[in-house]
Amino acid sequence: MTIPTKQECERLLIEVFNISESELNNARLVKTVAMRIGRDLKWLRDRGPNLSLIKAGSLLSAITIASDKDAKDSCAKLIELGYSNIAEIMNANTSPDFSDGSSVSESEIIFIADKLVDEEELVSVVYKYDHAIEAVNNDPQKSADLERKKKIALKIKSAIERETGKNLEELAIADND
């Protein structure tokens, strides 16, 4: 399993995926939040989650922000570059699924960390989705898809809170870097 370093991820984001400085700053904040959640879960578990995978996946999650087609093209590019494990996480982020009682994996940690960041600010999961749903309320299909993803995000949030005994938003702002 090949996992790019933080420096390699940032180089890919800038040189290969041509993201803007503000998108890079957003990706860095998503990484910080994901690592906080990942470290807490790793501390509580005998095994996993893989923090290197969380670091790379959360930085590179910036490539899935555009349309689904662009996200699929970006994932194909990651596979071409030898990062199929990261592409798998990115695919999971574009069409998430999570069952009650499941253990939270790297994919879910990255997915939920992204939902706690809005541009360069930390926000609640509910805030992020409610504003996104409000922005597309004239499009019933997009609205329904966001409602579905919000339910999944809230299941992941609950699972992390049960396992850590901490409020997810408080965990996201904890200064354990």
Cβ-proximal residues to 90 (8 Å cutoff; 6+ apart), any chain: 57, 60, 61, 63, 64, 71, 74, 75, 78
Residue 161 vs residue 172, higher pLDDT: 161
- How large is the average pLDDT for residues 106-127? 92
Residue 1, domain member (yes or no): no
- Angle (deg, nearest 10), helices 106-115 and 84-94: 50
- Please state the rounded mean pLDDT for residues 61-88: 83
- Does residue 56 sit within a domain? yes
* Residue 52: band (very low, low, confident or very high) from pLDDT cuts 50, 70, 90: very high
Tell me, yes or no, whether 166 lies in a domain.
yes
When pLDDT is cut at 50, 70 and 90, the band that residue 69 belongs to is low
- Confidence check: pLDDT of 71 > 80: no
Q: With respect to residue 22, please indicate whether it lies within any of the assigned structural domains.
A: yes
Residues 6+ apart with CB under 8 A from 17: 62, 63, 74, 77
Residue 74 in domain: yes
> CB–CB of 14/133 below 8 Å?
no
When divided into structural domains, the chain yields a total of: 1
Please give the residue range of the domain that contains residue 145. 6-173
Q: Within a domain: residue 91? A: yes
Structure pTM? 0.91
Domain membership flag for residue 96: yes
